[in-house]
Amino acid sequence: MMSVVATGGGLLFAGDTSGRFRAFDQDSGKILWKTNVGAPVTGYPITQYAHGKQYVAVSVGNSLASSSINRLAEELHPGNASNLFVFALPQ
């Protein structure tokens, strides 16, 4: 894992160097949701409540740390595009 944020509602959002971004239940560790964002999750997720909805945002792209880690695992082939992803949480 490269980055983690905890919410007041008991969720953990975390990303890794292979491009997986997931939501976990903080008590059980169970994966509640996951997606592949296509590049290493190098930014720290943030959450924001706006207009009656909760959002989580995270930036992705290569960094010195993620490039070094991915060289150690030849089976990982994430992209290198830099993007910002924003997801709305269900109510």
Given a cut of 70, the residues of the chain with pLDDT beneath it are 1-2, 63-80
| Cα–Cα dist 66/26, whole Å | 25
Provide the whole-model pTM: 0.78
Name which of 43, 44, 24, 40 is nearest 32 in CA terms: 24
pLDDT number for residue 63: 57
Predicted local confidence at residue 56, as pLDDT = 95
Predicted local confidence at residue 27, as pLDDT? 97
pLDDT of residue 71: 55
| Protein fold of 3-88 | Thrombin, subunit H (2.40.10)
Q: Any idea where the domains of the chain sit in the sequence?
A: 3-88
